[in-house]
Structure 1
């Protein structure tokens, strides 16, 4: 999935901003996963680690994996500042590669706004499944296909915004047990205006 040029571009983006993504965890990560019992988790393509840090603050062992070395280093620095180093692992790796993490098996794998073409997205879901124990949870949230024409933000390319049909087919191919697959509307305030973004949320278990 990743190329040296793509990784370099993201390294540049992460270098030029204090934080590319928000400091707080994704709202759907909190909403859907708050009540899970503490364990080990993996965030594939987790950037600066906002979700992994939130889990670590709740006592989880959290591994943040991203193909940007700059993002991973920022995650580790933030973990140190928060006194969470013992609970945090940072790994530079491609989300479509099974060697992209070191903590396995985990109780939870998260893919948050990992906007990839269908084949690569299926591969990333496969990596999440392979690294999650039986009975564990695979969680994903993406800018939805509907967001391209009716929502705000996200990549403009249609193929980078998964449809529910594509996600369902990928889960069926991997024999992931879908618990939740639904569209959600998210309020976004940008440049002084209120917008609505359309996301698709997946909660599945490994059987």
Structure 2
């Protein structure tokens, strides 16, 4: 399955077909890694229905929430308004592969489970330095390749999976990699069975 099949049309249809696609809770690795970071400006790539953006805003961040789906962003905006943080989040529909932040710079870039090929993710990682303030942090979390051998139903497209160490190696030499590891967590597969999956977590500072 190519990235074009995970484009705007795919995601818009997915969100329109469900009243809620995600749990409404922030991603656990974001909570673990960003909890103690100094507050500032954050870029939430692939913001979806806004749980991560709202969590960051509730903690005091000013957030730019980026996603392909207009429906997802509208839901995120509604959730933010209900949580009282609507004025702290800017919602923007765009494809991160071609997105240009202009003169905006961020103290945190969070990308949780992007549906990109490794070549596309490597290209994106190479652009991050130009989007960060000095001392800023990048947090990348995606499905580890060992998930392909579970019953979770991950798409069997190896070029969409990589280890945390491999992703960390794509960062320029001036970056300080603070975390690069696979973290297990419990999940439920499509048949309702408990299964251990792994999040590949990379946190680095410019």
Do the aligned partners of 1:44 and 1:64 also contact (CA within 8 Å) in 2?
yes
What is the total number of aligned residue pairs between the two structures?
204
Structure 2: distance between partners of 1:123 and 1:92 = 20
TM-score by length of 2: 0.89
The normalised TM-score by structure 1 is 0.89
- Counterparts of 1:184 and 1:30, CA distance in 2: 14
Distance 1:98 1:24, change over 3 A: same
- Any unmatched runs of 5+ in structure 1? none
Query: What is residue 93 of structure 2 aligned with on the other side?
Result: 92
Superposed CA offset, 1:29-68 (max 9, x none): 1111101121110111121121111001111111110111
Q: Is 1:123 paired with 2:99?
A: no
Which deviates more, 143-152 or 194-203? Answer: 143-152
1:10 Cα deviation after fit:
0.7
Aligned to 1:203: 203
Q: 1:20 to 1:180 in 2, by over 3 A?
A: same
- Shift of the 138–5 alpha-carbon distance from structure 1 to 2, 3 Å rule, reads closer
Give the corresponding residue for 1:53: 54
Aligned-pair CA distance for 1:195: 0.9
- The residue aligned with 1:166 is 166
Structure 2 segments unaligned to the other structure (5+ residues): none
**13-22 or 3-12, which moves further after superposition?**
3-12
Counterpart contact for 1:153–1:197, Cα < 8 Å: no
Give, in whole Å, the separation in 2 of the partners of 1:122 and 1:45. 16
Give the secondary structure class of the aligned counterpart of 2:168. Answer: helix
Q: Distance in 1 between matches of 2:38 and 2:6?
A: 39
User: Does the 8 Å contact 2:66/2:94 carry over to 1?
Assistant: yes
Report the CA distance between 1:144 and its aligned residue. Answer: 0.9
Shift of 1:177: 2.2
* Contact 2:150 2:195 survives alignment (8 Å): no
The whole-number CA distance in structure 2 between the counterparts of 1:13 and 1:28 is 24
